[in-house]
């Protein structure tokens, strides 16, 4: 089992990602609004104020979205990463997103328990 974490920069990419997840058997995810460190620094430290202008930073504005989902199978994890990469137009490009996974050895509290291998 794996925890997939994806930071998605463009809000308009989130719904298509979740739709494609569902089509591929990933039926649960947690979605959080978030802001990156550079946006917060730009808002709170005058030396970085011009950087805020460059990034479009405005007080109280949401800058990205974090998706969390637990995935049991390695091939489903690979497919989820492919889906994100396709929708954001290449994760290797700046300002698209960040994806990582963490192995899980124990999960409790899911609506439908995951089967043991």
pLDDT digits (tens, 9 = 90+) for 20-56: 999 999 999 999 998 877 666 666 665 555 554 554 5
**5 sits in which H/E element:** strand 2-8
Any idea which architecture 2-35+63-103 has in CATH? Answer: 2-Layer Sandwich (3.30)
Q: What is the pTM of this model?
A: 0.77
For 13-44, b where at least 16 C-beta lie within 10 A, e where not — what string?
bbeebbebbeeeebeebeeeeeeeeebeebbe
Task: Return d(Cα 91, Cα 70) in angstroms, integer.
Answer: 20
pLDDT tens across 51-76, in order? Answer: 545 545 444 455 899 999 999 999 99
- CB under 8 Å to 32, separation ≥6 — which residues? 65, 66, 68
């Amino acid at each position: 089992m794996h925890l997939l974490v994806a930071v998605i920069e463009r809000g308009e990419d989130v719904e298509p990602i979740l739709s494609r997840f569902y089509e591929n058997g990933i039926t649960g995810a947690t979605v959080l609004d978030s802001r990156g460190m550079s946006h917060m620094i730009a808002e709170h430290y005058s030396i970085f104020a011009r950087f805020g202008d460059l990034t479009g930073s405005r007080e109280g504005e949401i800058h990205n979205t974090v998706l969390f989902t637990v995935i049991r199978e390695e091939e489903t994890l690979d497919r989820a990463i492919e889906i994100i990469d396709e929708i954001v137009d290449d994760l290797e490009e700046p300002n698209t997103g960040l994806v990582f996974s963490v192995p899980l050895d124990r999960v409790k509290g899911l609506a439908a328990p995951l089967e043991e291998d």
